[in-house]
Chain A
Amino acid sequence: MELEELDLNTLKNGTPGITPEFGSCLAQAASVCLEDQGHSTGVVMKIDGDFKTSFSVSWEPTTEQTRRCWGDKEVTTENGAYGCAIILILRLTKHTVIQRSCKGTGFDFWLGDPDSTEPLFQGKSRLEVSGIRKGDQNTIRSRIRGKINQVGRFNSTLPAIIIVVEFSEPSSRIENR
């Protein structure tokens, strides 16, 4: 059976909360992470957790300049994971990235219905993403557990979708909180 394609280039179109320029950056970061792990376009990404499926991931090959720009491994893994997570959200749910806010030295992404009339962060869900450049299923599960425990101690939490992206296999795990 032919797998459905997950094209990272889609990020270049942007979303209501992501400019096309920033979307391109996320696509580049994800491509650098996948190529760094020896993958080429068409590699199969297994999806687990609240969604069980697989996709064939495609992207434009990176250039030397792109790889140099994304020399900071931690920043690249984080942004690459966001790129993959956002594209999975677009494909698997009715949500899209509606808003962003700054958090630490990166961004915090907020999901909602594209037709939502509620302003800014009202009535939105958070997208919690964690990226692993090279790990196994245990590492992925432990990251998901960590993310859930992190907020489990609060009385009032915001709705969220947690996604852990691993680039060496590659695979992703998605859980609703």
Chain B
Amino acid sequence: MKKISKIHEMAMELADKALIARLHGDLNSANTLTQKAFEKEREAASYLVDNFNCEPTRSVLYRSAASLALECGDQREAERLIGFALSGNPTDEIAEELRDLLEKVNFERHLSLRGLKLGPNEFQFSIWGKLVGYGMAQSEEFISRVQNIERLIYRTAERELKKPFREAGRKKKELEKELELYVSVPRAASFAVSFRLGSSKEPKFPVMDLSGDVINEMFECFDLFNSSSVDPLERKFIDIDKAYYINFIKLAQKIAPDGENIKSVGFTRFKDNKEKKVILSTPRSQVFRPKTIEEVIKPTQRIEVKGYLRYADDTKKEGIIKIIDENGKAHRVKVPSGMMADIVRPMFDFEVIVSGYRKRQIIILEDVERASD
């Protein structure tokens, strides 16, 4: 057992060094060190392969090795190691964690395109969680995300074209022609569809590859959003209407997993002959809030109101909505720029929970969600 301890300690030291290298932005060293840590941890676990009574050590070492394998992108090895761990006698708790890890492995596998050819103007969108089975997904969870992705695609296109933020009204017909959006039939890969952004045969902006630019930008922004890299994300929106930034954060929050029904949301594309993946795994309740809202209203009182969204006036830059609570009282809510069309309007006539900050007799909207029944 001393030998196993020694090898395990070496694995952990290598994993430490990998973390430190990653913190300093040295991703090549981090990957090499993680690979070495994985090999050592797998070696430590292998000494207990037939020692089924040595629990929880046996299953914890295998789980640790499988986590490192997954971090190295070796899904097959992670799957094999989880199999070894589950074939023993792990406690219920460790067994459940191993099953969660296996689901993660499967999700990573499903994100891979597996022979599916995606063009430069296409990407795949997948979801996984409690309400997703193999080839089946709860319709609301899936459809609402598809609609929000569509909104985000056109907002990103308008931003790329340096258009002022469109607070109200529909997107221009010419943009729809320039950037036609297609969705494939769903595939049983957790649950996945492909989006294709078609370009017009006679492009209005011939010097731009609008579809490619939009997909690049969306992937970059999702990546920064997922890692809570607030400053680099804000910088992407620095030269344009701030409403675009708020709009992006709010739509990304709606697309992000809730952590329970949907645990992961993934995007895959093919670029420079390589698969590029972005996995949104941080639950939406834990992702950051845009500074622009908090800064303006601090330090006023935070408030939450439940009721029906029955009135909306978006004739001004910052619109007003009214929430009618169960006692029939109307609460006036000011909607910051960037939120009315894509975030608030889809909730009209539904029972919602509005959260925000009170400023005199009005609530400044921070978030709005459908109330659960």
Contacts and interface: CB of A to CB of B under 8 A. Distances in A.
A17 B11 CA distance: 12
Contacts of A154: 91-93, 96
A103 B227 contact: no
A70 interface: yes
Interface size class of B (residues with CB under 8 A): 35 or more
B231 A122 contact: no
Nearest to A17: B12
A21 interface: yes
Contact of B64 (A21, A102, A122, A158): A102
Contacts of B16: 19, 21-22, 25
B57 interface: yes
Given A72-B229, A74-B286, A157-B91, A21 B20 contact: yes
Given A25-B19, A25-B23, A119-B1, A102 B57 contact: no
A128 to B, nearest CB: 11
Interface in A101-157: 101-105, 107-108, 119-122, 151, 154-157
B15 interface: yes
Contacts of A75: 227
Interface residues of A, number: 31
B230 A73 contact: yes
Interface in B210-268: 227-231
A120 B61 contact: yes
Nearest to B68: A102
Nearest to A104: B67
Interface stretch (B2-10, B119-127, B165-173): B2-10
A120 B4 contact: yes
B67 A103 contact: yes
A71 B20 contact: no
A69 interface: yes
A46 interface: no
A100 interface: yes
A166 to B, nearest CB: 14
Q: Which of A73, A105, A107, A121 has the most C-beta atoms of chain B within 10 angstroms of its own C-beta?
A: A121
B6 to A, nearest CB: 11
Contact of B20 (A25, A72, A99): A25
Given A102-B63, A120-B8, A151-B93, 19 more contacts: A21-B16, A21-B17, A22-B16, A22-B19, A25-B19, A72-B227, A74-B282, A101-B64, A102-B37, A102-B68, A103-B97, A105-B67, A119-B1, A119-B5, A120-B4, A121-B60, A156-B91, A156-B92, A157-B91
15 contacts: A21-B20, A22-B20, A73-B228, A74-B286, A99-B8, A102-B64, A107-B15, A108-B64, A119-B57, A120-B1, A121-B56, A151-B93, A154-B93, A156-B91, A158-B94
